[in-house]
Amino acid sequence: MRVTIDNLDGAGAREYTQAVAAEGRVTVQRTLNAPSRCTFVVVEGALGLALPVRMARVVVMADDATVLFTGYVATEPVREYVGEASAGGVYRARVTAVSDEWLLDKASSGVGAFGSLRVGVYGREFLSRMVGLAQVGGGPIRVATSGGPLAAAGAIAVKPAEPWSVNAGAAAGASYAGYTVLDGQINLQPVGYTTHVLRDADGTLQVAELTTAAMRELANDVTVSGAEEPAAFVEEIFMGDGVTTVFGLRDAAFRTSAATLVRDSFTEATLDVSQWVGSDPGSKVSLTSTGLTVDGGTGVDGATTVSALNVVEMGGTIVAELGGVVFGAGSDGMLAGFYDGASVLADCFAGFRVRQSVSGTGTVTECVPVVHGAEVGAVFTPVAGHAYTLRLRLHCVEVQRVPQIYSCMVDGVVQRFGSASGMDAPMDVVFELVDEGGASNTPATVLYDSAAVSGSVTGTPSQCVFVLVNSTSLFGSIASVTLTQPGTLWVVSTLPSGTMQTRLIGTAGTGVDCEARYGTQAGTAGSVTFFAGRVPVANERVSVFYRTERRSVARLENAESVAAEAAGGGNGTCRWLGKVLEPVARSSADCEQAALAVLAMATARSAAVAGTYACVNPSVDVWPGDVLAVTSEGVTSSLLVRSVTVTDGGCVPEVRAYKIAFANDWATEWADGLGLKLSEKIAADALLPQTASVAASEVLANLQQLTVTGLTETALQVDAGTAPPAGGGFEVRRKDWAFGEGVDAMDLVLRSSVRSFTVPRAAQVEQFFVRMYDGSSPPIYSRWSSAVFVNWPVS
């Protein structure tokens, strides 16, 4: 094995092979989805070569020119005194080098400024983006375009505080792939893209015996917990009286952990590449004293853009706020647009369109909302020189629109659990505008409110690209922008006249109506407080929509395995309880898919195999993420390579000794899984299911669009929002979690076989929980209740 080192002294790369001490031969250690390391010992002063220095470039090659390692000396070599010679003391130096991504680890995490979750961008594109962020302007490391096709992934929890390699490993694992860095190039390949066919005679096969150290016990009844998830769909109704300002909620409202997705005041000299990606062929975008300034465009829709770096999942409440917006004459383009596809008008789900209109005195600049590529709502004509705040509010009853995917390998075949398609759900949309020169108590001008027009918008995308500026020919500036996902609270009022309007949530002095507090699951309920001048009038119906919160959990069993184990006279059930660490399980539906992956691993004997394989001079270099197809005693096993140690044999012809550690998914340490990282400690607050299901998602659809269409002193008129299933209907109860035939008849209010039905009222404060059920026996129900909490006089 040849070693060359460039000490960055201007002499270039020099060969150190003959300076390597026999007691410290070159060793290369490779680990799946982690940096490689190379260690060796050099005799100080041998052949007149200088002692390697920190940051020196190290390249290790085989005699056949195969590159085995490239990287950098990460720390100062450790000098060791070994004795005296005629010329004085003799020293050796122990050198440790780390593969090329060490440069990226030193520079940045590569995951951007805000947000802990990434959806929609994976594989080579995701790694390319991470490399670009870490290197900021380019560098010696690039992402290869070759390699096998990568499977879709769901979402990954990125860690800005962790090094680049940690996030890269998590991104690769989410696609059940392995990344390697060699000679300045990052390769991302699906597990098993390279398979090595081996036999006993090729080396020394060492498979561990059937012990807990190498093979876990069978598990055919699996319970897993995940993150906190939104539960019941709540509409809580209050009566306004013209005086009451604070309305306390029955429960805490679910909110996401990372509310800020983008925040920028444009005070730097250039765009913040950790938040934005720009396309500016005509050099029309710049940062000036007034903020992000646009001075025209190319005339082509989608050519001049400033887009958020990360894709936005269109769930919960999303608020895009642009401050200090100054409109210039002759402008044409889009601001604060959410695009489902290309950055063109036809693919704009929602955004502000700025355009020209002919008037009696010439052309004027106008601002108009756009939904699904078409103009809606009122047209606003900004005053020249005035600065405005633009807000676009989006609200979806579903918080998670992108489901998770979990992968594992069983008998050499990669199995995936979960759907790559986004979840369909309606959204409420509000466009508003505030003249910053007006009084602080001046209400915002609402240009479009879906609640007041046609109700929720349907056919909405599950994820979008947020494009701050799309300039066909825009002129003006933006002083600041924030993009947040505050949670699930949404307030709609119905005036005594029957007119509906969305009540704007925010902070006092910003033109909004009220302030929301979410409460905590520990026992503090949420509340809505209205500001002076915005207090609900007498007989105004105030509806607060939100989702409650609970720990996600699922329990599934493999019925065939249970029956097989019971054949010997036992009960056959082998339980395992744990927690999903990565990829994050954001819902019970995700937990079900994770449980299916665990069952696939835990009931397959091959998935629990671990051991080592030793060989010399393999015909093809072996890397973690490869698969060994090893035939022993006529049986072929597919084994996932986890780590490889290559050691120089120090002889001619060259002998390279490989020690390959393999472990299939059920045989790794809990936190070292590839497509699924687990913990044996299930969440303490998880409500454990008492029985196991044999299939995922044995539930009906939730009643996302259930609404109260009428409210009197004696009754609620309810529209379930969907037709009942054949032989089924809608069950109304006063308590949650007690649905089913013959369950607590005293708690049952009614069952309806039609979409619209009337619920009788008997008290001012009441609660009703509704789920859909079908005609099977026993009936299958919705996963979550749609709840109506009422605080309304009965006389």
User: How is residue 561 annotated by DSSP?
Assistant: H
User: How is residue 375 annotated by DSSP?
Assistant: E
- 3-state DSSP call for residue 452? helix
Which residue has 């390959």 as its token pair? Answer: 660
CATH class of 260-486: mainly beta
Q: What is the CATH number of domain 707-791?
A: 2.60.40.10
Cα 25 to Cα 39: distance, rounded to the nearest angstrom: 8
Phi, psi angles (nearest 5°) of residue 167: -70, -35
Preceding peptide of 653 cis, ω within 30°: yes
- Domain positions in the chain are 2-99, 104-190, 195-216+608-665, 260-486, 707-791
Structure tokens at 164: 């680049």
- Mean pLDDT across the chain: 91
Q: What is the pLDDT of residues 456-466, one digit of tens each?
A: 999 999 999 99
Strands (E), 309-373: 312-313, 316-327, 332-339, 348-359, 362-371
Residues 6+ apart with CB under 8 A from 417: 405, 406, 407, 593, 594, 596, 597, 600, 696
Cα 586 to Cα 553: distance, rounded to the nearest angstrom: 10
Which residue has 């982690």 as its token pair? Answer: 34
Q: Specify the pLDDT at position 89.
A: 58
Residues 134/108, Cβ–Cβ less than 8 Å: yes
Element (H, E) at 205: strand 203-207
Fold of 104-190: Phage tail protein beta-alpha-beta fold (3.55.50)
| For residue 215, pLDDT beyond 60 | no
Fold of 195-216+608-665: Elongation Factor Tu (Ef-tu); domain 3 (2.40.30)
Pairwise pLDDT comparison (143 vs 433), residue with the higher score: 433
Domain 2-99, architecture per CATH: Roll (2.30)
Q: What is the pLDDT of residues 364-387, one digit of tens each?
A: 999 999 999 999 999 999 999 999
Q: Specify the pLDDT at position 213.
A: 39
Q: What length does the chain have?
A: 795
Q: What is the pLDDT of residues 578-601, one digit of tens each?
A: 999 999 999 999 999 999 999 999
CA atoms within 13 A on the CB side of 21: 18
User: How is residue 457 annotated by DSSP?
Assistant: B
pTM above the 0.85 mark?
yes
User: Which residue, 17, 21, 2, 6, is CA-closest to 79?
Assistant: 21
Cα 165 to Cα 162: distance, rounded to the nearest angstrom: 8
Percent of the chain with pLDDT over 90: 70
- 3-state DSSP call for residue 355? strand
| For residue 339, pLDDT beyond 70 | yes
Q: What is the pLDDT of residues 32-75, one digit of tens each?
A: 999 999 999 998 878 888 889 999 999 999 999 999 999 999 99
Q: What is the pLDDT of residues 632-660, one digit of tens each?
A: 777 788 889 999 999 998 888 899 999 99
Q: What is the pLDDT of residues 553-564, one digit of tens each?
A: 999 999 999 999
